[in-house]
Structure 1
Amino acid sequence: MSVKKIYLIRHGQTDFNVAGIVQGSGVDSDLNEAGHRQAARFFAAYRHLPFDKVYTSTLKRTQQSVQGFLDLGLPHEQHSGLNEISWGVREGLRITPEEDAEYNGVLQQWQRGETHARLLGGESPDEVAARQRPFIELLRNRPEEENVLVCMHGRAMRVILCQLLNYPLSCMDAFEHRNLCLYKIHFTGSQFSVSSFLDVTHLAECP
């Protein structure tokens, strides 16, 4: 089997990102003007690649981030396994570790390895990992798709990178992300590896 190349990106910027408001899987927001510029920059940088398939979550901000590729007629599949983690009752609110003791406490539990913890009404990293596994098996079992573009969300991206690279979920914060950042992953048929980590060179002229 030839090496499969997976281009894993986070969606472009939304107004919720700018305001520091938690989106999660329950907030189906649109890209803002800057987000559309980021998507256009990524498309300009990578449109030449022969992608066999484009995968997105079921949330429209991911599809909007790869719309240029979809307009080329590339095959596209949506997978709920790629959706962002659910933050439960906190979705749509501005919460930060500094301002919200419960939120900060859950983040600290995750870092301690207590990845079963969740906010009220939300998902745990363990639950996110479980719904991602069918998608990971899909990546493993479609050798005909040699170049794949995957667009998803920040926290969910951290979870899937831990799974692909065999890290415990407690290490997920080591995988930093920005809007429309790129992780380039290689799959040899038996193992995944990172060849490009948090690449944002394509955004050089974006705010």
Structure 2
Amino acid sequence: MSIKKVYLIRHGQTDYNLQSIVQGSGVDAPLNATGQRQAELFYQKYKDVKFDKVYTSTLQRSIQSVQRFIDLGIPHEKHAGLNEINWGTREGTRITPEEDAYYHGILQTWCDGNTGICIEGGESPDLVYERQKPFIDLMLSRPEEETILVCMHGRAMRILLCQLLRYPLRCMDEFRHENLCLYELDYTGSMFAVRKYCDVAHLQVPAEGITQK
């Protein structure tokens, strides 16, 4: 049985990330200069990996983060199932514990196991879980794609990792994420194993050590 290797990354930094503004599936923000540099650093580190397919969400920050791989001619597919959770009325707003106790309360509600509860005007983790299932089924139905690159979003990535690694959704915050972090997973045909966890070593390369396109 050949091993399917999945390189799962979060998108690079946007100005919304920098300003602690909530961006979900309804906010299509581009990468900022730092995010573009993060994408380039990741490309320089992993450009020699023989990816068979690149999968992204439909949002531009996800696509821009792996554009250099797409430019190599690697087949690319966009899937709405990989989009970030819809944060409803909180999208586009700056969130701090002092400013929005409700937002932080709903996160705690999910951690307590009540993952079917939607944030006001938006989605629940259970809904995101369900819309991710067709993508997972598709990915696993293609054994010819032995090495794939998947770029998506923080909360949605946590939910996907719970699915792939068979964790209950209440444990999703156990999966840390940073902009352009990497989870490297192996799939043997019956289960996934984590080879790299929230890895950002590729971002430590000095700026003068990279070349821009």
Shorter-chain TM-score tier:
over 0.9
Q: How well do the aligned residues superpose, as a CA RMSD in angstroms?
A: 1.1
Mapped to 2, the partners of 1:90 and 1:74 lie a distance apart of 36
Equivalence for 1:110: 110
Aligned residue runs from structure 1 range 26-175, under 5 A? 26-175=26-175
Q: Hey, what's the Cα distance between the residues in 2 that align with 1:160 and 1:201?
A: 22
Query: SS at the partner of 2:8?
Result: strand
C-alpha deviation, 1:96, in angstroms? 2.7
List per-residue Cα deviations over 1:158-202 (Å, max 9, x = no partner).
000001000000000000000000000111111111111011000
1:9 corresponds to: 9
The TM-score normalised by the length of structure 1 is 0.98
Give TM-score scaled by structure 2 length.
0.95
- Rounded Cα–Cα distance in structure 2 between residues aligned with 1:103 and 1:21: 12
Q: Which runs of 4+ in 1 moved over 4 A?
A: none
Counterpart amino acid of 1:32? N
Q: Percent identity?
A: 64
CA contact (8 A) 1:8 1:183 kept: yes
Work out the number of aligned pairs and report it.
207
Q: Could you list the runs of 5+ residues in structure 1 that have no partner in the other structure? A: none
Question: In structure 2, do the counterparts of structure 1 residues 98 and 159 end up closer, same or farther at CA, with 3 Å as the change threshold?
Answer: farther
Match of 2:77, SS state, is: strand
Q: Any stretches of 5+ residues in structure 2 without a counterpart?
A: 208-213
